[in-house]
Amino acid sequence: MELKVGSVVISKAGRDKGKFLAVMRIEPDGEYVSDGKERPVERPKKKNPVHLQKTHYTVSEAETATNRSLIRALRQFSDPDEREVK
């Protein structure tokens, strides 16, 4: 499965380990991800793709437009059983 803008990923390393994030943009030096809270849409975090676990979920462009809508969209994925990162 290929990462694309709007893909929902889980961080496998770093301070945000285990959190659901949305891919905001993809560049040759890494993926830029945001969660709308600690990492707002205006200031996404650059992550190495090796440190991201892909999921089968995506969020729409409208849901990534504002921090509030992104938080709301990612909240549905924060089931404690699904947050296990191995």
How does DSSP classify residue 27?
E
pLDDT, tens digit, 9 for 90 and up, residues 12-68:
999 999 999 999 999 999 999 999 999 999 999 999 999 999 999 999 999 999 999
3-state secondary structure of 24: strand
Which domains occur in the chain, in start order?
A: 7-75 (2.30.30)
61 burial type by CB count under 10 A (0-12 exposed, 13-18 middle, 19+ buried): exposed
Q: If you average pLDDT over residues 64-83, what whole number do you get?
A: 82
How does DSSP classify residue 50?
G
pTM of the predicted structure, to 2 decimals: 0.84
